[in-house]
Amino acid sequence: MPATKRTTSDTPRPIPLRWKFSRRFYEPILLEVALKKIRPPEFPDNQRAPNTIRDSHDSAEQTFKCFVNRLAQVCDNVRGENAATVTGVAVLLEPEGVHYIIGSNNRKAAKLHDVEVFVRELLHIAAKTTDQPADGGLQVHREALWHILKFDGNRVRYYLTSTVEHLQSCINDYDRRYDKTPLEAEASRFRRQLSDLTVLVKFGDDRKLGERAYFAACEALFRFIDDAQRQRFGDSISEQAQDGEINSKKNWIDLRHSVGRLHSYYLAVKTIVRASRLWKRLCHDFKVTVIPSAPVQPHPLFKKRPVANEILGRMSSDEGKIAAYRSLAAGLQPDGLDEKILNECNDSSQTHTVHAEVLVLDYVLKYMRENDDARFWNNWRYIGSSKPTCRLCNYYFTAHTSGVQVRESHNNLYPHWRAPDVFDEAAMKATETLLDAVLKRTRADAVRSLESPQAAQGRKFDSNCFSAQLTQKTETSMSELVSNLANLRTIDEEDVRSTAGQVHCDDDEEEEKVEIVFKGRRALAARG
């Protein structure tokens, strides 16, 4: 789609939040963070992931939201770095065509163009699926997967290394526990799957593989995981994490996470290609806008000295409650409660970030005010993200009047969160009203954590592990995968058509089912 001049207006310097409001807003967050450091929450080994992927295609809207989430996922290409590349995506429809608006937590300005080029090429690849009926789009799946693997190499390498690191320890633990016990059919199959995985993941330590051989090995591995997952592979790992001894639990939990994340790239390709078949316009006549991340800011209470006694005195007008809260806090002072509060707000390395979903929402709403013929795709007011929404973003979207929906929250509290910049007093008043609604909930959370050490919210991992799939017959044999791997080093000289692991995907295979449970109070379903 040709570039247009439709842009948001140049803006003056932002207006900062009033000091007293900032103090009120961030103090209960500081308190809860300090409480969690004193009494770390314990997460159950079988904790359910938000946005579980299921075999469900009964809703076009859900399929579309899966597509937006998967597109955001593959844009989130760097692990760590304070979640700098966590990404949000909105899809608008304009007279000129489809408009993808993409933003990240704190991506470097020099990398924004790389994201735009990556997304453009990925959508162009997905558009080819309708041109290759003879092979069912198999070549398109491979091309899309390899394109993603190249852009997401940092993350994929990490998960490969993590899988190699934990897999043998898990096998040793399994063999030790069941050495003298006859295994039933399902247990024997699981043990074989672990052995097969060992063979297929060996290339993760081989830094001499050429690029194409590496991509082919990843593809073969992902196909194996996909087939194994249809036979409850992820569930079996979870069972071992629950049943194992304390020293072995971590290996099983980490294995489940890393293998599940590798699987997610295979699922992302299937989701994106499926969406391109359902809505051809998504991948034709489009434009991509990658918006700059908002500037990071120091903690509003930086170099201040908030302490629990003062914080609790501002959290209620009920003197009796304040006295009770202060009594509980006094019992935690030997554990360094005030010290932990001060450390949290006076750490100069901990800057505050506008999270990707909030950044995209702010940009999209301004853009739509300036371009009244722009609307959300099919009036589905949704912003997808590469990870489930954090607790503060959840509270923010729940209170927001736009009716824009986001992913279900993992409820982890990320304290270095901030609202988007505002540039006039009317916008500041609206922001403070919105943040005041968030504040009511963070105060309740802090009190709950103070009163009950077991009142844990959140998850160990902020991204999903395995997908929940229906059991289906495996379509790829292990011998086929291994035989293809035997000649990996020759792939760099071969035509792409002969690479290992033909991807089999048909429209009846699994898809991500996203439960949209957090949305603005005033749902504007009829608006575009």
More confident residue, 61 or 132: 61
pLDDT confidence of residue 52: 47
Phi and psi angles of residue 494, each rounded to the nearest 5 degrees, phi first: -95, 165
pLDDT confidence of residue 339: 95
Identify the CA nearest to 467 among candidates 175, 198, 235. Answer: 235
Q: Is the pLDDT of residue 160 over 70?
A: yes
Residue 125 makes CB contacts below 8 A (sequence gap 6+) with: 140, 143, 144, 147
What the block records as the tokens of 31 is 């308190």
Q: Is the pLDDT of residue 483 over 70?
A: no
Cα–Cα distance, 410 to 350 (Å, whole number): 22
Say which DSSP state 49 is in.
Answer: P
Phi and psi angles of residue 453, each rounded to the nearest 5 degrees, phi first: -60, -25
Give the pLDDT mean for 149-160: 97
Q: Is the pLDDT of residue 33 over 60?
A: yes
pLDDT confidence of residue 462: 55
Q: Cβ(271)–Cβ(145) under 8 Å?
A: no
pLDDT confidence of residue 427: 94
Identify the CA nearest to 342 among candidates 367, 321, 370, 311. Answer: 311
pLDDT confidence of residue 10: 58
Q: Which of 42-51, 240-249, 435-444, 487-496 has the lowest mean pLDDT?
A: 487-496
Q: Is the pLDDT of residue 520 over 50?
A: no
Give the pLDDT mean for 254-259: 96
The angle formed by the CA atoms of residues 155, 157 and 158, to the nearest 5 degrees, is 65
Judged on CB neighbours under 10 Å (0-12, 13-18, 19+), 442 is buried
Cα–Cα distance, 329 to 192 (Å, whole number): 53
Q: What is the identity of the amino acid at 283?
A: C
Cα–Cα distance, 461 to 60 (Å, whole number): 29
Q: Cβ(303)–Cβ(92) under 8 Å?
A: no
Percentage with pLDDT > 90 across the chain: 69
Q: Cβ(418)–Cβ(296) under 8 Å?
A: no
pLDDT confidence of residue 525: 36
Say which DSSP state 382 is in.
Answer: B
Domain assignments of the chain as residue spans, ordered by start? 15-42+298-350+422-467
More confident residue, 279 or 519: 279
More confident residue, 511 or 126: 126
> What is the average pLDDT score of the chain?
84
Phi and psi angles of residue 422, each rounded to the nearest 5 degrees, phi first: -125, 160
3-class SS at 352?
A: strand
> What's the 3-state SS for 454-478?
CCCCCCCCCCCCCCCCCCCCCCCCH
Using DSSP bridges, classify how beta strands 97-104 and 511-512 pair: parallel, antiparallel or unpaired: unpaired
pLDDT confidence of residue 395: 98
Note the pLDDT tens digit of each residue in 409-433: 999 999 999 999 999 999 999 999 9
Number of CB atoms found within 10 A of residue 18's CB? 12
pLDDT confidence of residue 178: 87
Q: Which of 265-269, 314-318, 458-462 has the lowest mean pLDDT?
A: 458-462
Q: Which of 160-164, 213-217, 461-465 has the lowest mean pLDDT?
A: 461-465
Give the pLDDT mean for 365-390: 97
Q: Is the pLDDT of residue 7 over 90?
A: no
Q: Which of 69-83, 340-354, 460-474 has the lowest mean pLDDT?
A: 460-474
pLDDT confidence of residue 242: 87
Q: Is the pLDDT of residue 91 over 80?
A: yes
Q: Which of 16-20, 30-34, 457-461 has the lowest mean pLDDT?
A: 457-461
Terminal C-alpha separation, the chain: 21
Q: Is the pLDDT of residue 513 over 90?
A: no
Predicted confidence band at 132 (pLDDT cuts at 50, 70, 90)?
Answer: low
What the block records as the tokens of 415 is 């304290």
Q: Which of 50-59, 131-140, 184-193 has the lowest mean pLDDT?
A: 50-59
pLDDT confidence of residue 57: 57
Judged on CB neighbours under 10 Å (0-12, 13-18, 19+), 485 is buried
Cα–Cα distance, 519 to 522 (Å, whole number): 8
Q: Is the pLDDT of residue 503 over 70?
A: no
Note the pLDDT tens digit of each residue in 267-295: 999 999 999 999 999 999 999 999 999 99
Cα–Cα distance, 41 to 35 (Å, whole number): 10
CA distances 112 to 86, 102, 107, 298, Å, are 13, 10, 7, 23
Percentage with pLDDT > 70 across the chain: 79
What are the helix (H) ranges across 87-202?
112-127, 138-151, 153-178, 185-200
Give the pLDDT mean for 361-365: 98
What the block records as the tokens of 167 is 């897999």
pLDDT confidence of residue 480: 55
**Displacement of CA 239 from its chain's centroid (Å):** 24
Cα–Cα distance, 288 to 306 (Å, whole number): 44
Cα–Cα distance, 470 to 53 (Å, whole number): 10
What pTM does this model have? 0.84
